[in-house]
Structure formats: structure tokens, C-alpha cells
Amino acid sequence: MRRGRYSIAALLVVVGMAPLGAQQPAGTIRGRVTDDATQQPLSGVTVTVGSRRVLTPADGHYLITGVPTGTDTLRTRLIGYASAARPVTVAGGDTVVVDLALTRRAVSLSEIVVTGYGEQRAGNLTSAASKLTSADFNSGRIVSPQQLIENKVAGVQVIDNNEPGGGLAVRIRGQASVNASSEPLYVVDGLPLGTGSGGGLSTAPLIGNSPSRDPLNFLNPNDIESVTVLKDAAAAAIYGANASNGVVLIKTKKGSGTTRIEYGGSVSASSVTRLPSMLNAAQYRTAVTTYAPANAALLGAANTDWFGLVDRTAIGQEHNFAVSGAGANNSYRFSLGYLNQDGIIQGTTAQRIALGVNYDQQLFNSRLDLRASVKGTRTLDHFTPVGVLYNAAQMGPTQPVYDPTTATGYYNWPVSGGSALTSADNPVEVSNLAKDHGTTYRSIGSLQAKYDFSAFRALQGLTGTLNLGYDVTDVNHVTFYPNNIHLQTKNGNNGSFYRTTPNQLNAVLEGYLDYRPPVNLGPGNLDLTAGYSYSQSHSEYVSLSAIKLGTSLLGDNGIPQTAIPPVPVDTVTESKLISFFGRAEYNVGDRYLASVSIRRDGSSRFGPSNQWGNFPAASVGWRISREPFMRGITAISDLKLRASWGKTGNQAFGDYRQYSTFQPCNPQAQVQFGSQFICPFRPSAVDPNIKWESTTSYDVGLDYGILNERLGGSIDWYDKHTENLIFTVPTPAGSNLSNYVTTNIGKMKNTGVELNLSARLLQGGPGGFSWNAVFNAAHNTNQLESINPNTSAASKILVGGVAGGVGTTIQVLEPGQPVNSFFVCQQFYNNGAPVESSYVSLAGATVKACDATGLRAYHDPAPHWILGFSSSMSYRRFDLSFTLRAWLGNYVYNNVASNLGTYQELTRGAPYNLQTSVLQTGFKTPQYLSDYYVEKASFLRLDNVTIDYTFPWRGQELRFFAGVQNAFTITGYSGVDPTAGVEGIDNNIYPRSRTFTGGLNVWF
């Protein structure tokens, strides 16, 4: 069925470039690197000074020649050890000796963690926040930044849609909303990126269901230094109204040391892992002859593997250049990244060109720190046109691909009577002739000024920060279907052209003061922060659509004459968020820690009486290990108990929901009024009193370090209650202007535990074998508590539309059940075989129909456990790392099987191909609501394996690496992918790929 050849891509040939710069007076640095505990020499340590870089051999000695004269910083890096930095001054011709003793680490408590409007030492955090730096990130082909931390943080679920750069969902501690967004807030270098999944816009088609791309694709993952996830409300509440789904703080790389040029390049090859299981030509022929003999005459003699024709081995390449450095009072980093990654289905490509500049200037004796940051990216996305995947499943395998007698040269089912509408289309024709692509320009930038008032005696300890930022996106997306392909001629569309060119500009202004009194207040010291934030957003959605194209000759380049006038749409929306915030932290001897914060937000998305909301939070921490009574227990190097409470909001839904408005018609929705046509206006149903969703959460956590941090980690328990869910619910008929209205109804809760454990399993010593491992586990229970204010009785809202029939839904929102639980009937089995139209009712009887007597909530798509295991091993110059992931307790509805697994599909105007489950079930008519199709989709996946080989080359470090992503998946699920989106409905989803990547990194 598919091509099994995987080609490990050839490594890039890089032009051998000599180290930059002519020979100037230079000196030499030498020394020895040891483990500070064992005093044993360490091998494989990267020692860097300026642009020079060497690796230590087995005896731990190093020698760096040609070091420019002057003062610079000597740095070391070795997995499992804290990095060290030492200033050195080299005079011309001198040899300076610097010996270094490195400290082992698993968790660094002194590490600085970025928090909302500030930073904190990891050891003193009183809230649940997890920081990952570039050393922890996933490697291989990473298109979207969120994939860097996939599987790495307990309680953070990343669900990608398998397309390169495709839309992905991030859930922090479960889903907390139904109709508003459940995506976290992203903050890049202090700049909040609006509401929803990464703010901004992405290439999203005007119509159809081709998925939009991830709006965060504009961030080059190679530019990211660290990602911090604020999981509990105490950490996130300083972001108030946008923080209900957690906050992800992204910090980009900055320059340091002397000028360095860095190049990293890789190539990759991807192939399909699993495709829908359809009948082959022989099976199909037998089925048609048996179950739809009237259609047997239509069958051809071909043996066509339609999926084989639309999938491919996808090649990708990525190149990143960066120039960085620092002077006495400034630092800079310029980066240029290029990525071109094909998808494994014909037609899909993600291309990105990303530029980044970070510049930092210190003025007035370093009292004023000015930082400018600009990122600008062009992404060019080619999508597989809608109609390729589902037709590859439905098109008869006995039919040929080509037919020279047709207008397009591609074969399609013959039309007899009105059969065309119910026939599949040739997927190769659609794939080769239709176009669907979009370009997105997005830029964010910020200018931050931070002033330290300490020069004024009275203002000692006071700093002020002003941050001005913008975020602009401009999208141009075109979808084109020629007028002579079967997909268009069969329904009378006769060609279609859509162009959508939305643009958005967000502006943010933030200012805050931080005051740390120079003397202790009482037994401890105080840190006060107070600030103001103003952000506004202006979006224009301009689009044009046309059908019945007079000619297809212009392709996707423009609209020729059309039989009916093209339809333009232009909509402008604006929103505003104004906030005041403050925080006080109190620290007694790094032993007793407390923090309180409050944010007051005013949002344009609510009526005047509900515009303002308050979001308070409080947290405390007790570092037990710092207590005198713990001094004797040397095995426990760190122990901290923390507890937090906080309230956050969610306003991530459309603008102007509080106003009743009159909606004009489009030209196809006019009303004949006597002898003329009138464009009718419709008043909209609203709840003028709509207000925030608010989430109250509790978190209790324990951070621990044992045996000098040889083992370390944390355990957290949390409980999140979301109230006033913004929900579109049925309203009593006649009481409002439609039968559904968006209002605040309902409650939902998420409760869970998270466990994080990192360990240095083996400490091989000099040149020996070392092994570090990190294990994380998260368990979450989601429950919808209420959805209707009018009655205490359980009510249900049906959701989860699937392919097959019109209006078929297979999920439910029901109090007492997890959100989007499947809502199906228990299949009746006879001797292990499912019996058609036979179900077990709730009362236990065998019934003929799946109706209210048998429908019940049955499992849900969210995993109950998410487990991640990352491991890194090093031996001499080799590093091997891998990441395993498991989801337990998640279920997926196999929609391809339920929709195409019935013999009735053969009786259409032209028969559809069938999914192979029909061979087991023998179903003649569709049984969409049978729990037969709700499959357990727990899995274990080797997500990532990478092997590195690092060696000195011309006095520099050269790193080669090769890896595999999605090496294997073990699952009982029979469909395409057990991670089939947030909603767990597998309906011709994009298949998952296995990707081999090889590349190198070099520094000059």
C-alpha cells in the first residue's frame, strides 16, 4: 500500500570556512576540567572563549590557542553539569591557565525563571511553573515552537494535526472552556500575543475544512532560548483575563561574549506511517458484485492504490544562521532561518523565512537598559486541497487514474442520470489541478526600557519598565478549483476561486514599577510590583469568492469572467483590554515565602456593567530543607512545600457579543417582495449581560532534591473550577431572537496530579557512560458540572458532528461527564460479531434502534494519563537521547470505518470504496452511533531519537546529528492515528509521518 523505503538524507556539505578574522596578537588558554565532587577529570566538556571552542579529551585537559587579547569569558557546557563561566584576561603571547571544577546538577534551584512581569529564582517559586531551556527541547524537524516542549512538561498536552506547521492545540491541565478558546496565552519576550492560540492570524481557508496553520509558526524555534509554562492560577493570574488556560512565556536568544557566527543545517525525509484501511481492488469487486450487482457493470479492470498515488516521501531542509555577540554595554543577535518542509501528502508544504534581531543597550552606567526586539517572518503554506484525502478513501480501486477522453485527462465515474452528485471524485485529479496556498507575513516587535532608580538615594531598589510592542499579521490565502474537474462539475459549481486577505494589528503598551526596599521589612525582604497595561487590536477580514468560472486559464492568479458576480466580504473588528496589576512578594530567609497579586481587567468584549473583572491570587512556600532541623539530613538536598490559590479569566471569543445587531444578507439570501428583491436584515440573539468566564484554582506542590540533586522533581495536585462558562445554549423558544444564545452558563472542573522526576542514573566519570533521565506523568479528570440554569435536571447538548448523514453527532456535553464524551449506544454482539441494528438498551434489553433508550455517555477523547520519558546518554563524543510518550485512557471515534464500513455505500450512483471493518461487521446500513466505532486509543510512542557526535574541528566544535521522529507507535487503535485531534474524531485526518533528520551545527 505504501512505499516502505526510508532514505536517510545525505548530510549537508558545508563549504569549509576558515575561522574568521586575520591573525592578530593572540594568547593561549589551557587548563583542566574536573567534577567538583569526585575531583575526577571530565571529558567531552565544551569549553568556549569568544569564537574559540574545544572539547576536553579523557584526561580533562584542554588547550585553546589564538585567543584574541583582552578580557573575555570562558564558558563550559556538559550535559548533567551546571555550566560555568570564568572571566579571563589574555595578553598577546601569554598562556593563561584556568582549571574548572563543574557541579553536577539535575535541577538548578538558583536558576532564574521568568515570571509574569518579573523573574524569580526557581528555588523560591511558590507557584507551579516549569521552565525548559534549549538543552531540554525536542530535536529533529520542529516547525511549530510548541513542539519543542511536547511531552516535556507534566500537565501540558500538545496535540498536533500531523501536517507540517499545521494547526495544533495545547491544553494545560485539561480543557477549561467549551465555546471560548482553551488555548493558553503566549507571551514572547514580555509581549502578550493576544487571545486564542498565539494571537495573530494564520492561513485559514475561507470555506471548507482544510485546517488552518499554527499562528505561532512565525517564531523560528531555533531562536528560542527558553519556554516557561505557568500552570497554576497563582503564577498566571498576573495576566488576569487571558490566563484561564495557563500562560506560556517564551524567551528568545540574546547575544553574549565576542562575535560568533553559528550555522545549523539539516535535511529530512518523511514517510507515511499509517493510512485508512480500505478494500483492495479484488475485495471491492467482490463486494460490489455481491451487494450492488446493478453497479457491477461500472467497474473497471484497474488495480489502483489511490492513497499510494497521493502520498509521497517528503523531503525537508532547514538552515539557520545567527550572528551574536556582546560589547561592554550592549549585546546583539541577528538570525536568519529558512525552512522548507514537504508534507507526506502531495501538495502540502510549509516554508518559512524568519528574521530576528535582538539588541540590548545599557546606558547611564547601566542604569538604563534598552532592549529592542523584532521578529519578522514570511510563511508560505501549500495545503493539500480539500477533496484529496476523502476521495482517496472513497474512489473505487478498480478504476483507472487517467482517461484521455476527458477534458482534464483524468478518469472519473461515468454520469448516468443524476448519479454524479453521489460519486467520488478522482483524488489525483483534485490533487494535481486544484490549488490551495497562503502566505502569511507576521512581525512582532517590542522596545523595552528599564530604568534603575537606585542612583537616587530615596529611590533605592526601585526599577521602572516601559514596554511598547506591536504584532502585525497580513495573510493572503487563495483556494482555486478549476471549472472542469469532476469535483466542481458534478455540483454545478463549475470552478471556484476564493481569496481571503485578513490583516490584524495589535498594539501593547505596558509599564510597571518594581520596588525592593534595600533593607528588610520585619524578618524578611519585600518585592513590590505594580503596573498598567493597555492593548488594542484592529482586524480587517477581506475576502472574495467566486464560482462558475468562465475559464480556468488564469488558474489561481485571478478571477476571470464568472457566470454570477464574485462575492466580496469586508469586516472590521476592534477590541481593547485595559489592565492594572500589582504583586507583593515576601521572603523570610529563603525559608518562608509568600506572594499575593491582583489584576483588574477591563475588556471591550463585555457590556458596560460587566466590563471590569478582578483576578486575585495568593501563594505560600516553605523551604523545609532550609530549616535547622533538616541540617542533619544530608540526603535531602532540597524540599519545598507550596500552596496556591488564584482566579483567572477567559475572554477568548468574538467581539461585540454584548450588542444586538442587525445582520445584512448576502446576495444569495434575498427575499422576493412582490415584484422586487429585498436584502433582509436580521436582528441577532444576544445576552447583553455577558461577562467573563472565571476559573478558580488551587494547587499544592512539593519540590524535592535528593542526594545532592541526583534525584529531583516535583509533585503537584490541582483543582480548577471554571464558572460562568461562555456557552452557546438553547434558550426558551420565543424568549430571544434565535433558539440558541451565547451566555454565561455552566461550570466545569479539572482535577489532577502531576509528577516530575529527574535523575542522574549513571555518572560514568571521565570518558565513561553517563545517563540522565526525566520522567513526567500527569493525570487529569475533567467534568462538566452544569450547563443549564433553568433546571437542576441533567440536560444535554449534542456536539461532535461526523461524516455520514447530515447532522449526525456522536458526542455530548452533559453534566457529570467529561466534556465531549462520546454519546453512543452499546453494540449488541452475537458470538463476538456485532449484529447490525441491534443494541443493548440502558435497561439491558436488545433493541433494534439506537435512540434515547440506549444512548449514553461513553468514554471521552482526553487521555486520563499522559506519560513522558526523556533520556539522554553520553559516552565520549556521543550523545544519545530519546523521548517516549504514552497516553492512557483516551478514545477515538473511527469515522472512516463508521462512514465507509457499510455495504450501502456501494449502491450509490457510483459505488464508494469501503473501509475494511465491513469485512468483520458485515453491516449493510450505517451504524454511526454504535460504540463499535469508539476505540480505545491508548498508545506508547517513541517520539524522538537523536544521536549526536561532537568533535573539535579547526579549533572549533562541530556537531553532527541524526534522528528519527515518531520511530514507532504501539496502539490497539485501528485507524490512522491515535492522536486524532482534541475532539478524538478520526475522519480522513492527515496521516502521521515518520521523519528521519540529519544535520550539523558549526560555530565560527
Partner 1 sequence: MEMTHARSGGMHTSQWKAFGVCAALLVLGTVACTDPSVAPKSTIGGPTFFSDANSYQEFLARIYGGLALSGQAGPTGLPDISGIDEGFSQYLRLYWETEELPTDEAVIGWNDIGLPEMNTQTWTSSSKMVVAMYYRIYFQVVMANDFLQQTSDAALAARSNVTPALKTQIQQYRAEARFLRALAYWHAIDLFGNVPLLTEADPIPGPAPKQSTRLDVYNFIVSELTAIQSQLPAPGAATYGRATGPAASMLLAEVYLNAGVYTGTTHWAEALAAAQAVIASGAYSIDTSYRHLFLADNNTSPEMIFAIPQDGLKTQTYGGVTFLAHASCGGSMNNGNYGIDGCWWGLRLKPEAYNFYAAGDKRTAYFYTTNQTVAVTTIGDFHAGIAAPKFQNVTSGGTAGSNGTFVDTDFPVFRLAEAYLIYAEAVLQGGGGTRAQALAYVNLLRERAYGGTSGDITDPALTLDFILAERGRELLWEAHRRTDLVRFGRFSGGTYLWAWKGGTLAGTATAAFLDLYPLPASELIANPNLKQNPGY
Is residue 610 left, alpha or beta, with left meaning phi > 0 and alpha meaning psi from -120 to 50? alpha
Give whichever of 351 and 714 is closer to partner 1, judged by the CB atom: 351
513-542: contacts with partner 1 (CB under 8 A): 532, 534, 536, 538, 540
Residue from 570, 833, 878, 970 in contact with partner 1 (CB under 8 A):
570
Q: Are 174 and 778 in contact (CB under 8 A)?
A: no
Q: How far is the CB of 473 from partner 1 (least distance, A)?
A: 7
Which residue from 610, 615, 747 is spatially nearest to 687, judged by alpha carbons? 610
Interface segment toward partner 1; rule CB under 8 A; list 82-90, 438-446, 519-527, 778-786: 438-446
Residue from 561, 668, 830, 831 in contact with partner 1 (CB under 8 A):
668
Give whichever of 431 and 651 is closer to partner 1, judged by the CB atom: 651
C-alpha 56: how far from chain center: 38
Give whichever of 484 and 770 is closer to partner 1, judged by the CB atom: 484
680-719: contacts with partner 1 (CB under 8 A): 680-683, 685-688
What stretch of H or E contains 486? helix 486-489
Contacts of 735-738 with C-beta under 8 Å, sequence gap 24+, read 736/685, 736/686, 737/660, 737/682, 737/683, 737/684, 737/685, 737/686, 738/684, 738/685
Residue from 736, 763, 781, 871 in contact with partner 1 (CB under 8 A):
736
Q: If binding is defined by CB under 8 A, does position 564 make contact with partner 1?
A: yes
Q: If binding is defined by CB under 8 A, does position 604 make contact with partner 1?
A: yes
Q: How far is the CB of 796 from partner 1 (least distance, A)?
A: 8
Interface segment toward partner 1; rule CB under 8 A; list 106-114, 143-151, 603-611, 859-867: 603-611
Instruction: Report, in angstroms and rounded to the nearest whole number, the Rg of the chain calculated over CA atoms.
Output: 30
Strand partners, 532: 511, 580
Interface segment toward partner 1; rule CB under 8 A; list 7-15, 568-576, 698-706, 994-1002: 568-576
822-881: contacts with partner 1 (CB under 8 A): 851-852
Q: Are 584 and 528 in contact (CB under 8 A)?
A: yes
CA end-to-end span of the chain: 47
Residue from 118, 550, 560, 730 in contact with partner 1 (CB under 8 A):
730
Q: How far is the CB of 238 from partner 1 (least distance, A)?
A: 17
Residue from 173, 442, 856, 992 in contact with partner 1 (CB under 8 A):
442
Give whichever of 738 and 763 is closer to partner 1, judged by the CB atom: 738
Q: How far is the CB of 708 from partner 1 (least distance, A)?
A: 48
Q: Which residues contact 510 (CB under 8 A, 6 or more apart)?
A: 117, 190, 465, 466, 467, 469, 531, 532, 533, 534
Residue from 603, 744, 965, 974 in contact with partner 1 (CB under 8 A):
603
Give whichever of 39 and 791 is closer to partner 1, judged by the CB atom: 791
Give whichever of 634 and 675 is closer to partner 1, judged by the CB atom: 675
Residue from 65, 290, 846, 925 in contact with partner 1 (CB under 8 A):
925
Interface segment toward partner 1; rule CB under 8 A; list 100-108, 244-252, 662-670, 958-966: 662-670
Give whichever of 89 and 661 is closer to partner 1, judged by the CB atom: 661
Q: What is the DSSP string of 23-53?
A: --SEEEEEEEEEETTT--B--S-EEEETTEE
893-922: contacts with partner 1 (CB under 8 A): 904, 907, 909
Interface segment toward partner 1; rule CB under 8 A; list 133-141, 259-267, 769-777, 786-794: 786-794
Extract the C-alpha cell encoding 913: 470504496
Give whichever of 44 and 495 is closer to partner 1, judged by the CB atom: 495
Give whichever of 108 and 604 is closer to partner 1, judged by the CB atom: 604
**Which phi and psi (to 5°) does residue 947 adopt?**
-120, 135
Q: If binding is defined by CB under 8 A, does position 323 make contact with partner 1?
A: no
Question: What is the longest distance spanned by two Cα atoms in the chain?
Answer: 100
375-394: contacts with partner 1 (CB under 8 A): 376, 378
Q: How far is the CB of 208 from partner 1 (least distance, A)?
A: 12
Q: Which residues contact 302 (CB under 8 A, 6 or more apart)?
A: 281, 397, 398, 399, 400, 401
Residue from 231, 352, 437, 490 in contact with partner 1 (CB under 8 A):
490
Give whichever of 216 and 1000 is closer to partner 1, judged by the CB atom: 216
Give whichever of 629 and 662 is closer to partner 1, judged by the CB atom: 662
The count of chain residues that interact with partner 1, using the rule CB under 8 A, is 112
Q: How far is the CB of 513 from partner 1 (least distance, A)?
A: 9
- CA-to-CA distance for 395 and 393, rounded, in angstroms? 6
| Amino acid identity for residue 889 in this structure | G
Q: How far is the CB of 809 from partner 1 (least distance, A)?
A: 7
| Cα–Cα distance list, 767 to 34, 62, 84, 763, 803 (Å) | 12, 14, 19, 10, 58
Residue from 3, 520, 677, 970 in contact with partner 1 (CB under 8 A):
677
Q: Which residues contact 337 (CB under 8 A, 6 or more apart)?
A: 220, 222, 223, 318, 319, 320, 321, 352, 353, 354, 355, 356
Q: How far is the CB of 540 from partner 1 (least distance, A)?
A: 5
Extract the C-alpha cell encoding 438: 497562503
Q: Are 537 and 505 in contact (CB under 8 A)?
A: yes
Which residue from 645, 756, 780 is spatially nearest to 699, judged by alpha carbons? 645
- CA-to-CA distance for 827 and 920, rounded, in angstroms? 14
Q: If binding is defined by CB under 8 A, does position 7 make contact with partner 1?
A: no
Q: Are 903 and 801 in contact (CB under 8 A)?
A: no
Q: If binding is defined by CB under 8 A, does position 297 make contact with partner 1?
A: no
Q: How far is the CB of 618 from partner 1 (least distance, A)?
A: 25
460-479: contacts with partner 1 (CB under 8 A): 466, 468, 472-474
Q: How far is the CB of 803 from partner 1 (least distance, A)?
A: 12
Place of cell 495576566: 239
| Amino acid identity for residue 542 in this structure | V
Extract the C-alpha cell encoding 396: 473505487
Q: How far is the CB of 488 from partner 1 (least distance, A)?
A: 11
Q: Which residues contact 696 (CB under 8 A, 6 or more apart)?
A: 233, 645, 646, 647, 720, 721, 723
Q: How far is the CB of 572 from partner 1 (least distance, A)?
A: 4
Interface segment toward partner 1; rule CB under 8 A; list 87-95, 411-419, 553-561, 697-705: 411-419
Residue from 25, 664, 816, 972 in contact with partner 1 (CB under 8 A):
664
Is residue 831 left, alpha or beta, with left meaning phi > 0 and alpha meaning psi from -120 to 50? left
Give whichever of 287 and 1000 is closer to partner 1, judged by the CB atom: 287
Q: How far is the CB of 783 from partner 1 (least distance, A)?
A: 19
Q: If binding is defined by CB under 8 A, does position 561 make contact with partner 1?
A: no
Give whichever of 4 and 732 is closer to partner 1, judged by the CB atom: 732
Q: What angle do CA 433, 385, 266 make, to 5 degrees?
A: 100
Residue 72's CB: how many other CB atoms inside 10 A?
A: 21
Which residue from 422, 397, 398, 400 is spatially nearest to 412, judged by alpha carbons? 400
Residue 830's CB: how many other CB atoms inside 10 A?
A: 9
Give whichever of 89 and 790 is closer to partner 1, judged by the CB atom: 790
800-829: contacts with partner 1 (CB under 8 A): 805-809
Place of cell 449514553: 856
Give whichever of 246 and 909 is closer to partner 1, judged by the CB atom: 909
739-768: contacts with partner 1 (CB under 8 A): 739-741
Residue 655's CB: how many other CB atoms inside 10 A?
A: 16
Q: If binding is defined by CB under 8 A, does position 458 make contact with partner 1?
A: no
477-509 CB burial, b ≥16 within 10 A, e <16 = bbbbbbbbbbbbbbeeebbbbbbbbbbbebebe
Q: If binding is defined by CB under 8 A, does position 422 make contact with partner 1?
A: yes
